[in-house]
Structure 1
Amino acid sequence: MMLRRAVMACGLALAFGGTVMSGPQAVAAASLTSAQQVWVHRIESSLADTKNFQARFEQVTEQDGRSTGTVLLERPGKMRFSYDPPSPLLLVANEGKVVFQDRSIGQITTIPLDHTPLGLLLRPDPRFSGDVSILGYEQHGSEIELRVTRTENPGEGEMTLFFSTHPLSLKGWTVLDAQGHRTVVHFSNIQTGISVSEDSFILPKDED
């Protein structure tokens, strides 16, 4: 139960590394138009240029319903999801790890950062190519949706990223894991170029 809650926190299901699949699998990568490719490159550049941000988040899962909190990001490699009370949950990414803490039972779960969707977003140079494949691209007015998966193991799950085009910014994501569980995260009140304390990204430790 603890591991299940950990991997579902903030949409960080093990969609990018939790299930080892046997044998190669073909990825039906989307064929993008020239205009769509331009937008993908713009999104990559925007993610790379976003060195830090703070926002409110709303998370919805089929199992646990709705929860809210505050997210902090500092690229590369650092992110913190603080859930609002009475939730006992805390999730911190740093030092190549994602550490999930459930303070109601005094336990933590550690997952390699590269085995989560955050591994893509927190890279020094985010790219939707190579080990990540684009499965779908949709644009509705001022919103772009990119559906992606791991190139070598698409059976592990997929992630849909939502971007606003005016200005170009990440608005949230949906993760569909290998078991078919869906988690949706939306951001609001986004602030960029802020001062973030390094103490925010201290990894939780087991309580003695």
Structure 2
Amino acid sequence: MKQFVFALALGATSLASAAASAAEQLSLNEISAYLNSFATAKADFTQVNDDGSLSTGTLYLRRPGKVRFEYADNAGLVLAEAGTVAIMDPKSNQPPETYPLSRTPLSIILARNVNLAQANMVVGHGFDGVSTVVRAQDPKAPEHGSIEMMFTDNPVQLRKWVIHGGSGEETTVILGEMQTGLSFPSSLFSISRPKRDR
């Protein structure tokens, strides 16, 4: 069950092939506008856990506040809805582990309105020659850790994030090509009905 916690961090695809000389650093307003431009998204992902192990699966997102990490080979589910995260391990007879969504830095990009320019949210903003990297935290609860996001431009796209948990753990999620503007049934994110059929 430990690996599933890392997806939201309690507490591989290539990047754009454009030459570095053609890329430019994105502003916080541009990144916020991009994140606010879609309400739904789907992408395959590869997750690098804190212990170095790898997990793969499919991510479904519906803002505000809903996300589903569906791990390959029926390895498990992580769901978020109505301010609650549930970690479901099919190998366990125990009920799902739950905790508030506000305890994970991923809540920042699941907000109804993403505003990275608000005071004390962004603690790092840089450019590596190809990608813009932004590190953000909940200014009201920095003890819950931070999320480091990597974006490419032309067009703007979220490619990767690293969750830095409040206890020092790190988890990386590398995204495949993201599809946006899709329609998902509410049941896809239902903690009480976590079926895999879509």
Normalised by the length of structure 1, the TM-score is: 0.78
* Partner SS state of residue 61, structure 2: strand
| Identity over aligned pairs, percent | 29
Counterparts of 1:62 and 1:158, CA distance in 2: 15
Counterparts of 1:132 and 1:161, CA distance in 2: 16
- 2:101 pairs with 1:103: no
Letter in 2 for 1:99: A
Normalised by the length of structure 2, the TM-score is: 0.81
Counterparts of 2:150 and 2:92, CA distance in 1: 34
- For 2:18, the equivalent position in structure 1 comes to none
Shift in Å, 1:63: 2.1
- For 2:146, the equivalent position in structure 1 comes to 158
Letter in 2 for 1:184: T
Counterparts of 1:150 and 1:59, CA distance in 2: 23
1:183–1:73 CA distance, 2 compared to 1 (3 A):
same
Letter in 2 for 1:110: T
Counterparts of 2:82 and 2:54, CA distance in 1: 29
- For 1:7, the equivalent position in structure 2 comes to 5
- For 1:120, the equivalent position in structure 2 comes to 108
Shift in Å, 1:186: 0.8
Alignment: residue pair count: 181
Q: What does 1:1-80 correspond to in 2, within 5 Å?
A: 2=1, 4-8=2-6, 10=7, 12-15=8-11, 39-63=27-51, 65-80=53-68
Letter in 1 for 2:73: P
Are the aligned partners of 1:92 and 1:204 in contact in 2 as well (CA < 8 Å)? no
Which ranges of structure 1 fall in alignment gaps of 5 or more residues? 16-34
Which ranges of structure 2 fall in alignment gaps of 5 or more residues? 12-23
- 2:186 pairs with 1:198: yes
Structure with a larger share of its residues in strand:
1
Shift in Å, 1:174: 0.4
Letter in 1 for 2:5: V
Counterparts of 1:191 and 1:7, CA distance in 2: 25
Letter in 1 for 2:82: E
Counterparts of 2:192 and 2:119, CA distance in 1: 30
